[in-house]
A and B are shown apart, each in its own frame.
Chain A
Amino acid sequence: MSKPENSNQNAHEFLKGLWDENPVFVAVLGMCPALAVTNTAINSLAMGLATTFVLVCSSILVSLLKSVIPKQVRITAYIIIIATFVTVVDFLLAAFTPAVHKELGAFIALIVVNCLILGRQEAFASKNTVGLSILDALGMSAGFTFAMLCIGIPREILGSGSLFDVLLFGDGFEPWVVMILPPGGFFMLGFLLLGFNWYSQKKKERELMKKN
């Protein structure tokens, strides 16, 4: 489509992560947290926010240091930066929200290997200005958090009959336990990917029709 003009390039860098280049539904990155910690809405949200913090902070640092870091050791340097912020998040969550920290457990440390974060450093932050990198990081993590909630909210509603720990149904509702077990994550992700792909295919077809 038409090239984004300078005035709305900022908006484009932010919005692309939400929809067109959504890290989970389009790029299929960060599958480990998307499947493992989406059994409740609150866990999904906490994981999304923790990832946001790490992604934004490391993008700022990487884009600031892009001329200092030698190319040959850039991946190592990115990993050091990312791991630092992940450990900071780990400490902060344990200090201020021990309940969430207990729930997310080992998956906080595993944010280090979330390819979404390393991918944005290599593909974007190491080549762009600080401002654009922040927008890109915010957009991508908003897209990630959105995707986590898309998986987490239905899983909690169906699997526990509640939303953000508020019970929705009466005693008559029998929870679908499978939805909060690991298979439930695969089911939900599968359905969402199906829907996303179906939608984008329809969109492409419509554009082709217009051109013809």
Chain B
Amino acid sequence: MGIKSSRELEDGSSNQILMNQKQNNIAPQIIEEKEPSSFKLIFALGIAGLISGIILVGTYIYTDPLIKANKEAAMQRAIFKVLPECTSYTALKLEDGKLIEKVADTDKKKETDKEELLIYAGYNANKQLIGFAIPGSEPGFQDIIGAIFGYDGTGKVIIGFEVLESKETPGLGDKIFKDADFKTNFTSLVVEPEIIAVKKGQKQNPNEVETITGATISSKAIVRLLNKTMAIWQTTINEYIKQNNITVINKHEQARK
């Protein structure tokens, strides 16, 4: 009985809903205006895209030189930091396994073709070569760490280090560029035969880096970055020095004597 009656109820109510729907369906169709044609819709979006494009191109043309100048200034600051006493520098690029001076591009198209691998030769006030600033990158804990370091070509030591880009954990991994103690690792770090990461307070040899407690992964990433980048550049740098018969001013060498 109970089931039957509820069914009857359902039937009744569903009928009512159907009736309502029928009435409603007729009503809006009369009120609603005609759908615009697809052409009109595409046209409207096309215009929106066009206006947006014009605004963006305008902004890009205006801001692009400023953004490039900012990047260059940041790079320049970093080079001066990792090569103490450096007052001027030239960019060197790798071509046919040799380092040649990169001539400032007058042709802008060439520049955008591909990202070139560049290193920078730093000179002191007397125009003497004091070392090379070499950028490199390596995956860290969260994202790729970009860094630049100063390399003294004849002494085969790293004399300075700066992080350019990093998204390491704030408060932990970001000590690779905030911790002053960690930076002292890179004031005279011997790169041969290989840079090795050791625990804090256990540094014995000149080719060892003390890692940061709580930021072991990030510190080890830096050591990998240095070894990897040195492997790419070391032989070419040695050849460059030999070929051009340049005597690199080496403070460490002098100090040892």
**Interface status of A172 (Cβ within 8 A of chain B):** no
Using CB atoms, name the residue of chain A closest to B166.
Answer: A102
Bound complex: CA of A96 vs CA of B66, how far in Å? 8
User: How many residue pairs between the two chains, A and B, have CB atoms under 8 Å in the bound complex?
Assistant: 70
Among the listed stretches A4-12, A70-78, A193-201, which one makes contact with chain B, having 4 or more residues with CB under 8 Å of it? A70-78
B212 CB to nearest chain A CB (Å):
14
With A91-B59, A91-B63 as known contacts, state yes or no: A180 contacts B171, CB within 8 Å.
Answer: yes
Bound complex: CA of A80 vs CA of B26, how far in Å? 35
Using CB atoms, name the residue of chain B closest to A65.
Answer: B48
Indicate with 1 or 0, residue by residue over A104-141, a CB within 8 angstroms of chain B CB atoms: 01000000000000000000000000000000000000
**Interface status of A159 (Cβ within 8 A of chain B):** yes
Bound complex: CA of A83 vs CA of B49, how far in Å? 11
If over half of A's interface residues share one DSSP class (helix, strand or loop), that class is named, otherwise mixed; here it is helix
**B49, B67, B167: which contacts A105 (Cβ < 8 A)?**
B167
With A88-B56, A180-B170 as known contacts, state yes or no: A73 contacts B63, CB within 8 Å.
Answer: no
**Interface status of A68 (Cβ within 8 A of chain B):** yes
Bound complex: CA of A87 vs CA of B70, how far in Å? 18
Contacts of B41 in A (CB 8 A): 70, 72-73
- For chain A, the bracket of interface size reads 20 to 34
Contacts of B59 in A (CB 8 A): 87-88, 91-92
**Interface status of B19 (Cβ within 8 A of chain A):** no
A71 CB to nearest chain B CB (Å):
9
Q: Is the CB–CB distance between B170 and A39 below 8 Å?
A: yes
**Interface status of B96 (Cβ within 8 A of chain A):** no
Using CB atoms, name the residue of chain B closest to A78.
Answer: B48
Indicate with 1 or 0, residue by residue over B21-49, a CB within 8 angstroms of chain A CB atoms: 00000000000000110001100110011
Q: Is the CB–CB distance between A72 and B52 below 8 Å?
A: no
Using CB atoms, name the residue of chain B closest to A175.
Answer: B171
Q: Is the CB–CB distance between A68 and B171 below 8 Å?
A: no
A62 CB to nearest chain B CB (Å):
11
CB contacts under 8 Å to A, within B44-64, are 44-45, 48-49, 51-52, 55-56, 59-60, 62-64
With A73-B41, A80-B49 as known contacts, state yes or no: A98 contacts B70, CB within 8 Å.
Answer: yes
Q: Is the CB–CB distance between A87 and B56 below 8 Å?
A: yes
A109 CB to nearest chain B CB (Å):
13
Q: Is the CB–CB distance between A94 and B63 below 8 Å?
A: yes
CB contacts under 8 Å to A, within B126-160, are none
Q: Is the CB–CB distance between A70 and B36 below 8 Å?
A: yes
Contacts of B56 in A (CB 8 A): 84, 87-88
Bound complex: CA of A177 vs CA of B165, how far in Å? 21
**Interface status of B15 (Cβ within 8 A of chain A):** no
26 pairs from A and B in contact (CB 8 Å cutoff): A69-B44, A69-B48, A70-B36, A72-B35, A76-B45, A77-B48, A80-B52, A84-B52, A84-B55, A87-B59, A88-B56, A88-B59, A91-B60, A91-B64, A91-B67, A92-B63, A94-B63, A94-B67, A94-B70, A95-B63, A95-B67, A98-B67, A98-B71, A175-B171, A177-B170, A181-B171
Interface, chain B (partner A; CB < 8 A): 35-36, 40-41, 44-45, 48-49, 51-52, 55-56, 59-60, 62-64, 66-67, 70-71, 74, 165, 167, 169-172
Interface, chain A (partner B; CB < 8 A): 39, 68-70, 72-73, 76-77, 80-81, 83-84, 87-88, 91-92, 94-96, 98, 102, 105, 159-160, 175, 177, 180-181
